[in-house]
Amino acid sequence: MSVKCSIFALLMIDTGISATEVKAPASQGKQFYIESYGCAMNFSDSEIIGSILSENGYSITQDEFSADLILLNTCAIRENAEKTIRDRLKHLRNNKRKNSDLIIGVLGCMAERLKTKLLEEEKLVDIVAGPDAYRDLPKLVEEVVDGQRAINVLLSREETYAEISPLRLNTNGVSAFISIMRGCDNMCSFCVVPFTRGRERSRDPESIVKEARQLSEAGYKEITLLGQNVDSYLWFGGGPKVEFKKATDEQKDNAVGFAKLLEMVALVDPNMRIRFSTSHPKDIGDDVLFTIKKYDNICKYIHLPAQSGNTRVLEVMNRTYTREWYLDKVKRIREIIPECGISCDIIAGFCSETEEEHQDTLSMMKESRFDFSYMYKYSERPGTPAHKKMTDDVPEEVKSRRLSEIIALQKELSLANNSAYIGKVVRVLTDSVSKKSEDDLSGRNDQNTKVVFPKGNHKIGDFVEVLVERVTPTTLIGKAIN
């Protein structure tokens, strides 16, 4: 910190400002507090933000009341996600009342979606910064200290924060995320992400491998590679993927796709588990499946959102695959990797969905036998193609009923899948103490199902062989045998 200040002072003198005019940077001795909402990409971004602020003299605090700067890294995926942030901002009025110098920043997808509107609507917000503007945060804070409200919501076609070494937040020292790409080019009609995160661009594979190596050296046991559509990862020298067609022959020859990247990361440390999320049914290919099969340390688990089981609904969602295509993918996964866990995302009550079409979703779920699913009621998002061109016409009570049918079916499928583990031994990476009992440890098997067992001499971060004795729809319960 002190070193930074003196360098800062020297720079100011060099530019001709006299020493007496030298002002300490706004960051001097200041603490920031950050909360993350939404998907894993946002949690990963918060670690990049943490790193940028630390490099600029801020230190992190877990106590919101001692913070000089409170940051909310927000999500905009459904209306409820934004409501949570509005409610949180109301609470932060108390913090501001206690400390009038407190700076409040709203970052991430809701900031990007609402832009200046957020400053107009939420008077206590000082900073609004979108997902590609985090390098600018120290400057935005300076602007607030100088008496202005500050905003940067520019989306970039290149930014991947590739060389920034994330500041690991709330870490258990066992599992970590690595962002491998940013943005999304898919334009599913219901989805706000292409608008909040911009064009798809992939990160330099060397920087990804370097980060994986650092995590391995720091003792991490599991990494998850993150992107909105990881199967579409393509590195050919930088810039958005849409420009691949303009790449030189040499760039094309040396391009790295997701299967290759997965292999490069798997080879970093055979004792470190590799996961990835999210896969898109249109893009996941045999090359990726064979790579998963080939390496013991790549988890046999794929999150493969379907969204609907009806071809017409999939078409109006602009998912670019049919029910049959999706079911064939599931079949292919099970052919190549029979033990693979598969999970799904499903939306209930999308615009114009009929009762029969909803039944198709239920039958698709039965056929696919998902281990678990993330299930949502459709929530219309302003500015999306569905909002512009379609009507949110499924009544709220119908959406709720369809969602509960989907949830009930998933519960049955999960219980059936989990029951098949009874009497079998699973390899678990323990990541926490069980929420229900301090005497039990909790972790996940290769297929990403939660496993709980009495801790004995084991500790968080251990790989443990667990004999499964009983199950619930969400958890395998058993005892350690090693």
- Closest to ligand F3S by CB, 74 or 291: 74
261 binds ligand F3S (CB under 6 A): no
With CB under 6 A as the contact rule, which of the stretches 21-29, 189-197, 285-293, 364-372 interacts with ligand F3S?
Answer: 189-197
Cβ of residue 73: shortest distance to ligand SF4, in angstroms? 17
Sort 31 into a burial class: Cβ within 10 Å, 0-12 / 13-18 / 19+.
middle
Q: What number of residues does the chain have?
A: 482
Q: What are φ and ψ of residue 73, in 5° steps?
A: -95, 105
Cβ of residue 89: shortest distance to ligand SAH, in angstroms? 22
Q: Euclidean distance between the first and final Cα of the chain, in Å? A: 47
279 binds ligand SF4 (CB under 6 A): no
With CB under 6 A as the contact rule, which of the stretches 11-19, 71-79, 262-270, 465-473 interacts with ligand F3S?
Answer: 71-79
Residue type for 87, please? D
Residue 445 binding result from ligand SAH, ligand SF4, ligand F3S, none, given CB thresholds of 5 to 8 Å by partner type: none
- Closest to ligand SF4 by CB, 229 or 418: 229
Contact at 8 Å (CB) between 34 and 64? Answer: no
Judged by CB under 6 A, how many residues of this single chain contact ligand F3S? 13
- Closest to ligand F3S by CB, 227 or 443: 227
- Closest to ligand SAH by CB, 141 or 351: 351
Binding mask 218-237 for ligand SAH (x = CB under 6 A): ----------xx--------
Q: What are φ and ψ of residue 304, in 5° steps?
A: -125, 80
Binding mask 191-220 for ligand F3S (x = CB under 6 A): -xx--xx-----------------------
Residue type for 183, please? G
Contact at 8 Å (CB) between 200 and 241? Answer: yes
Residues 332 and 330: their CA atoms lie apart, in Å, by: 5
Q: Could you tell me whether strands 234-235 and 222-226 are parallel, antiparallel, or unpaired per DSSP bridges?
A: unpaired
Cβ of residue 229: shortest distance to ligand SF4, in angstroms? 5
Report the DSSP beta bridge partners of residue 176. Answer: 223
Q: Could you tell me whether strands 127-129 and 150-152 are parallel, antiparallel, or unpaired per DSSP bridges?
A: parallel
Sort 425 into a burial class: Cβ within 10 Å, 0-12 / 13-18 / 19+.
middle
77 binds ligand F3S (CB under 6 A): yes
Sign for the pseudo-dihedral over CA of 376, 241, 207, 216: positive
Residue 196 binding result from ligand SF4, ligand SAH, ligand F3S, none, given CB thresholds of 5 to 8 Å by partner type: ligand F3S
Please give the C-alpha separations between residue 116 and each of 67, 92, 110, in angstroms, as whole numbers: 25, 20, 11
Per CB under 6 A, the list member of 30, 78, 199, 221 interacting with ligand SAH is 78
Please give the C-alpha separations between residue 288 and each of 31, 207, 279, in angstroms, as whole numbers: 43, 21, 10
Residue 194 binding result from ligand F3S, ligand SF4, ligand SAH, none, given CB thresholds of 5 to 8 Å by partner type: ligand SF4
208 binds ligand SF4 (CB under 6 A): no
Residues that bind ligand F3S (CB under 6 A): 38-39, 41-42, 75-77, 108-109, 192-193, 196-197
Residues that bind ligand SAH (CB under 6 A): 77-78, 190-191, 193, 228-229, 278, 280, 305, 307, 345, 347, 376, 378-379, 381
